C-alpha cells in the first residue's frame, strides 16, 4: 500500500473506531435480512450481493436531509457498475415524517429519489431492525444519528462505516466504493 492510501486507510479506520465501527473479526457476511419496501414488497440484502451496498439511516427533517441529493447522485453514478444505495428512513432521532406515504412523497417530490427505500424502520435500541441489531452485536456499530452510512462489500461483509457528516459524494466514500467495484 503506498503512503497516501495507507494514510487514508488509517484516517478512515480511526474515524470508524470513533463511530464504534467494525471491530476486527467482523468479517462474516451479513445474514440475508429483509426490509419492507416503501413501494410494497420486500427488499432482501441477498438480492444485492455481487456489488457493494451503501445502507443509510435517513430522516426527512434533519440538517443532513439534503444528503438525499448526494445519495441519489452516487446511485446514478455507480448503479450500472453494481452499487446499490439503500435508504432506511427512521424516526429513532425524532426527525422523520409520520408515515411511509409522507416519506415517499417528500423524497420523490423534493429529491427525485428512485433508489431503494425501506418503510420507517427502527435502527437502534431494543426495537432495532435485525440488520442493525446484527451490526451492533457483530460489528460493534450502532447509528449515533441520522445519515450514518454502512458500506457492505460484494459478499455482504461490512467494508466501512461513515458518520453523518461524511457527504455521499466525498472522496472518502467514493474511493471505497470504486475500490470495491474495481475488485469485483
Query: For 72-98, how does the pLDDT look when each residue is reduced to its tens digit (9 = 90+)?
Result: 999 999 999 999 999 999 999 999 999
Which of 26, 62, 73, 179 is flagged as catalytic? 62
- State the pairing for strand pair 84-89/53-58: parallel
Active site residue 107: no
Domain ranges in the chain are: 3-183
Could you give the CA distance from residue 49 to residue 162 in angstroms, rounded to a whole number?
A: 20
The Cα diameter of the chain in Å comes to: 49
pLDDT at 6 over 70: no
The angle formed by the CA atoms of residues 112, 95 and 134, to the nearest 5 degrees, is 90
> Which CATH number is correct for 3-183, 3.40.50.720, 3.40.50.2000, 3.40.1190.20, 3.40.30.10?
3.40.30.10
Average pLDDT of the segment spanning 31-45: 96
**Which cell numbers hold the place of 80?**
450500472
pLDDT at 1 over 90: no
Render pLDDT for 9-31 as a digit per residue (tens, 0 to 9): 333 333 443 344 444 335 778 88
Q: How many residues does the chain have?
A: 184
pLDDT at 5 over 50: no
Return mean pLDDT, the chain.
88
Could you give the CA distance from residue 117 to residue 172 in angstroms, rounded to a whole number?
A: 23
- Strands of 53-170, DSSP E: 53-58, 84-89, 149-152, 158-162
Place of cell 480511526: 14
Percent of the chain with pLDDT over 70: 85
pLDDT at site 184: 75
Amino acid at each position: 500500500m503506498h503512503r497516501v492510501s495507507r494514510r487514508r486507510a488509517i484516517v478512515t479506520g480511526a474515524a470508524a473506531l470513533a463511530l464504534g465501527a467494525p471491530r476486527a473479526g467482523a468479517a462474516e457476511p451479513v445474514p440475508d435480512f429483509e426490509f419492507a419496501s416503501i413501494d410494497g414488497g420486500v427488499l432482501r440484502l441477498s438480492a444485492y450481493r455481487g456489488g457493494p451496498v451503501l445502507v443509510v439511516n435517513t430522516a426527512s427533517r434533519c440538517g443532513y436531509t439534503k444528503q438525499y441529493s448526494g445519495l441519489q447522485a452516487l446511485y446514478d453514478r455507480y448503479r450500472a457498475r453494481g452499487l446499490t444505495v439503500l435508504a432506511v428512513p427512521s424516526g429513532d432521532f425524532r426527525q422523520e415524517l409520520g408515515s411511509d406515504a409522507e416519506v415517499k412523497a417528500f423524497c420523490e417530490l423534493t429529491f427525485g429519489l428512485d433508489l431503494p427505500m425501506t418503510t420507517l424502520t427502527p435502527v437502534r435500541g431494543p426495537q432495532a431492525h435485525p440488520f442493525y441489531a446484527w451490526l451492533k452485536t457483530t460489528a460493534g456499530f450502532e447509528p449515533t444519528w441520522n445519515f450514518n452510512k454502512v458500506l457492505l462489500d460484494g459478499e455482504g461483509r461490512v467494508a466501512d462505516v461513515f458518520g453523518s457528516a461524511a457527504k455521499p459524494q466525498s472522496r472518502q466514500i467514493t474511493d471505497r466504493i470504486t475500490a470495491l467495484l474495481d475488485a469485483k
